[in-house]
Amino acid sequence: MRAHYRAEGLDEGDLAAHPMAQFSRWFEQAAQAAVHGFVHEPNAMVVSTADAEGRPSSRTVLLKQYDDQGFVFYTNYDSRKAHELAHNPYISLLFPWHPMARQVIVTGTARRTDREETAAYFRTRPHGSQLGAWASTQSAVISGRSELDVTYAELDARYPEGEQVPVPPHWGGFRIAPQTVEFWQGRENRLHDRLRYVAEPDGGWRIERLSP
């Protein structure tokens, strides 16, 4: 179980000045690879949080937006990750674009998006996903699948296709402000290129190379 990675590398001179601009370059390339069936769900990322005692947990979620301010995903605010972020805002994101021998690893802090931004995104979700946000008591123990299906059916009857579904008060987004962003490019002989942006106090970014 050993893959041989690509020969082409990642050089400091090729990087954008801002990590989000560099992320945009790589994300667009991953999205294009997805069009050709080479990468599956390029916006899937592993989100890692830790509770107040430092015990970590990870799960895969979908990136829904990114800009100069960072990365945004949406979730149930009663979920495990949301509860952990309420006590410990430090977070890590990992984009595993394995077919391209690339990873992007982010560390930073998370804060909730405002309700206006949350509502604007919620309106773009498919009808079934809007109902699902109400039906799921995310991370809570339930008696069985039937409990979830019955709740969804009741919501579907209350808000049939075409009717506006209200935004759940317990549901919304998190925006991750990056403190470090590492771009990992697989190379031959396990001598990978690892270039990391580190936020400076003056608002700039320092770029450093890490040993593989």
What is the separation of C-alpha 180 from the centre of its chain, rounded to a whole number of angstroms?
Answer: 15
Q: Annotated binding residue at 3?
A: yes
Q: Annotated binding residue at 145?
A: no
Best CA proximity match to 81, nearest among 103, 104, 60? 60
Q: Is 25 a catalytic residue?
A: no
Q: Annotated binding residue at 194?
A: yes
Q: Annotated binding residue at 55?
A: no
Q: Map residue 168 onto helix, strand or coil.
A: coil
Which residues lie closer than 8 Å to 108 by C-beta, 6 or more apart? Answer: 70, 90, 91, 93, 176, 177, 178, 179, 180
Q: Annotated binding residue at 131?
A: no
Catalytic hit among 6, 111, 190, 209 = 190
Q: What is the rounded distance in angstroms from the CA atom of residue 207 to the CA atom of residue 19? A: 9
Q: Annotated binding residue at 49?
A: no
Element (H, E) at 180: strand 171-185
Q: Annotated binding residue at 210?
A: no
Q: What is the rounded distance in angstroms from the CA atom of residue 71 to the CA atom of residue 181? A: 11
Q: Annotated binding residue at 192?
A: yes
Q: Annotated binding residue at 63?
A: yes
Binding site, annotated residues: 2-5, 59-64, 74-75, 80-81, 103, 121, 125, 129, 138-139, 184, 190-192, 194
Q: Which residues are catalytic?
A: 190
Binding site, annotated residues for FMN: 59-64, 74-75, 80-81, 103, 138-139, 184, 194
Binding site, annotated residues for substrate: 2-5, 64, 121, 125, 129, 190-192
